[in-house]
Amino acid sequence: MKALRLIGIGWVFQLKMLSRSEFDGLLGVLWPLFFATTAFFMFRTTHDSRALLYAALGSSVMGIWSSTSVAASSALQRERWYGTLELVVGTPAHFSLVLIPITLAMATVGIYSMAATLLWGWALFGIGVHIVHPLLFVLAVPVTILAIGLLGFLLSVTVVRYRTAWALGNALEYPVWLVCGFLVPLSLFPGWVRPISWALAPTWGVRAIRQAALGGSPFWPMAACVGLAALYGVVGALLVNTVLRSARRSASLSLT
Amino acid sequence: MTSLRIFFIGGLTSYRALFNWLTPWILVPSFLVAPLFQILLFAYIGRTTRLESDEFYVIGNAIQYAAIPCLFAMGNTIGGERFQHTLPLVLATPAGRLPLFIGRSLPVIVNGFLVAAFALVAGGALLGVHVPLSAVAPLVLVVLITSFSCTGLGLVNAALGLRVRETAVLSNILFGILLVFCGVNVPLSSLPDWMSTISEGLPLTHGIAAARRLADGAGLGSVAGLIGAELLIGCIYAIAGYLLLRLMEVESRRRGTLEIA
């Protein structure tokens, strides 16, 4: 119960902090829109309204990953810059319970971008979002955010020794957009890419959102999302222990 | 002589300072990995929509990626100096502003050229795009001129950095505008008229068009008009950027906002 309370309060607190910068907010919405607009122009040439809706739904999830990848990979570094890393590591709560709300909030902020992309597609390209299973759609979105947030958590822990991890997070933006099938069907890729796609929760998240919107059964993709999110959480928590032990032993916690 | 020294040595020192923080750990993911995935992303969307060939996306995205170093590095000539608290020192010197700022743009042009050239070669190899051997030298010229014109826009970006605190955000927005408007992934004929009209005045548009024609086997002479237009646009942006820098510098001194934007 205490853990859930900590995650909940931390998530709200981090969400408020992330909403403070108008510039960051503007970029968070605009950046995926540039790519979505390009994709809409490209898909428009197919003269297939279903293909456009497919692109709109995929593009809308791009923003959730964008808001997570760069920010999550530098989450620990940012705590170092703020001078708060030692304080949060020193609390009796497990450090992963402090870090998870941060990356969850980063993914949640992406919902602005998701809404903006769908609105943009509707207003400028006439892409009507007719949702076949509205309730399941409403469920698929937070499940996707949860899974992407926990992938961000795993990423933030994995790259903790990489001093300029933000650059890696930046470089991971396109690969995930590509291999998770946001805009391209997975069947187009070579066979060796597919296992990578299946191991990435955004693949199942965008599939769940699409199946909820276009018709189909989003339950299995949602279950895969939840399962992968749990796996990311467990692996990340174990890694946190190792990383913190190492940093404490070498007294390198505050070193940038 | 002093101006030449400021132009070359000042430009080189500033660039080396940029690379002091721009380590290989940043350079490799940002300048080598990211452009390849941008090419792959749009080439695969192109395969899905059957809009254009792989060659179209390799050339468009590789050359467009020159905008990343050109916009960000130029933006950092102001933003980076402010962050290091050296901006007032630099602007307090009696050094001529023309060699001071233009000197800083020369290494950036080379950087943009190298990023675009790497993306062209590696992206082409990944997707099996073949360019005639006779087109290589003209393509080098086109990529170089396009990097110059992007740096011209970068100079405008740097000037705006004297008023806008978040130069990185501004650079990202300019990059996005170039991505959508310049025929990078969507042929200009498929864009609304007003967008293709705007694209005529932006860097990249003519350079990318020229590179595509060269890759299709056209001679240098037949794309001279496009190359000339790209060069002219680059000069206009460079002059506008320089004048804007001077104006913003005076304004920042008057308002006392050199260090706070």
Q: Is residue A170 domain-resident?
A: yes
- CA dist B257 and A222 (Å) reads 51
- CA dist B72 and B56 (Å) reads 25
CB contact under 8 A, B37 and A162: no
CB contact under 8 A, B26 and A167: yes
Q: Is residue B261 domain-resident?
A: no
pLDDT of residue A41: 94
Q: Domain span at residue A15?
A: 2-249
Q: Is residue A254 domain-resident?
A: no
**What average pLDDT does this structure show over A222-245?**
93
pLDDT digits (tens, 9 = 90+) for A136-160: 999 999 999 999 999 999 999 888 7
Q: List the alpha helices (DSSP H) in chain B.
A: 2-5, 11-21, 24-27, 34-49, 54-64, 67-83, 87-92, 97-127, 136-160, 167-181, 193-199, 205-215, 224-255
pLDDT > 90 in chain A, percent: 60
pLDDT of residue A256: 52
pLDDT digits (tens, 9 = 90+) for A183-196: 999 999 999 999 99
pLDDT of residue A101: 94
Residues of A with CB under 8 A from a CB of B: 23-24, 26-27, 30-31, 33-35, 37-39, 41-46, 51, 162-164, 167-168, 170-171, 173-175, 177-178, 183-185, 188-189
Q: Is residue B260 domain-resident?
A: no
Phi then psi dihedrals of residue A152, to 5 deg: -60, -40
Q: What is the DSSP string of chain A?
A: -HHHHHHHHHHHHHHHHHTS-HHHHHHHHHHHHHHHHHHHHHHHTTT-HHHHHHHHHHHHHHHHHHHHHHHHHTHHHHHHHHT-HHHHHHSSS-HHHHHHHHHHHHHHHHHHHHHHHHHHHHHHH------SSHHHHHHHHHHHHHHHHHHHHHHHHHTTT-TTHHHHHHHTHHHHHHHTTSSS-GGGS-TTHHHHHHHSHHHHHHHHHHHHHHSS--HHHHHHHHHHHHHHHHHHHHHHHHHHHHHHHTT-TT--
Q: Is residue A255 domain-resident?
A: no
Specify the DSSP class assigned to residue B65: T
Instruction: Return the closest-CA partner of residue B177 out of A131, A59, A31, A24.
Output: A31
For the four alpha carbons of B238, B244, B250 and B254, in that order, the dihedral sign comes to negative
Q: Which amino acid is at B244?
A: L
pLDDT of residue B18: 67
pLDDT digits (tens, 9 = 90+) for A72-115: 888 888 888 888 888 888 888 888 999 999 999 999 999 999 99
CB contact under 8 A, B180 and A38: yes
- CA dist A240 and A156 (Å) reads 10
Domains: count for chain A:
1
A93 Cα to chain B: minimum distance (Å):
33
Q: Which residues of B touch A164 (CB under 8 A)?
A: 23, 25-26
Q: Would you state the torsion angle of the CA atoms of residues A217, A220, A225, A229, taken in this order, to the nearest 10 degrees? A: 150
Q: How many CA atoms lie less than 13 Å away from B249 in the CB half-sphere?
A: 19
Tokens 């304004």 belong to which residue?
Answer: B251
Q: Which residues of A touch B37 (CB under 8 A)?
A: 171, 174-175, 178
| CA-atom Rg of chain A in angstroms | 18
A87 Cα to chain B: minimum distance (Å):
26
CB contact under 8 A, B177 and A35: no
Q: Which residues of A touch B191 (CB under 8 A)?
A: 41
- CA dist A174 and A31 (Å) reads 12
pLDDT of residue B260: 67
Domains: count for chain B:
1
pLDDT of residue B20: 62
pLDDT of residue A166: 81
Global confidence as pTM: 0.91
Q: Is residue A256 domain-resident?
A: no
| Cα A78 to Cα A82, A102, B240, distances in angstroms | 6, 11, 37
Q: Is residue A52 domain-resident?
A: yes
CB contact under 8 A, A188 and B50: no
Q: Which residues of A touch B180 (CB under 8 A)?
A: 34, 37-38, 41
Q: Which residues of chain B have pLDDT under 70?
A: 1, 18-22, 260-261
- CA dist A27 and B8 (Å) reads 35
- Best residue in A31, A53, A125, A178 for a mutation probing chain B (most B CBs within 10 Å): A178
pLDDT of residue B21: 61
Nearest to A38 among B40, B166, B185 (CB): B185
Q: Is residue A137 domain-resident?
A: yes
Q: Domain span at residue B203?
A: 2-255
CB contact under 8 A, B166 and A42: no
Specify the DSSP class assigned to residue B190: G
| Cα A176 to Cα A9, A201, B34, B239, distances in angstroms | 29, 10, 12, 40
CB contact under 8 A, B44 and A189: yes
Q: Is residue A160 domain-resident?
A: yes
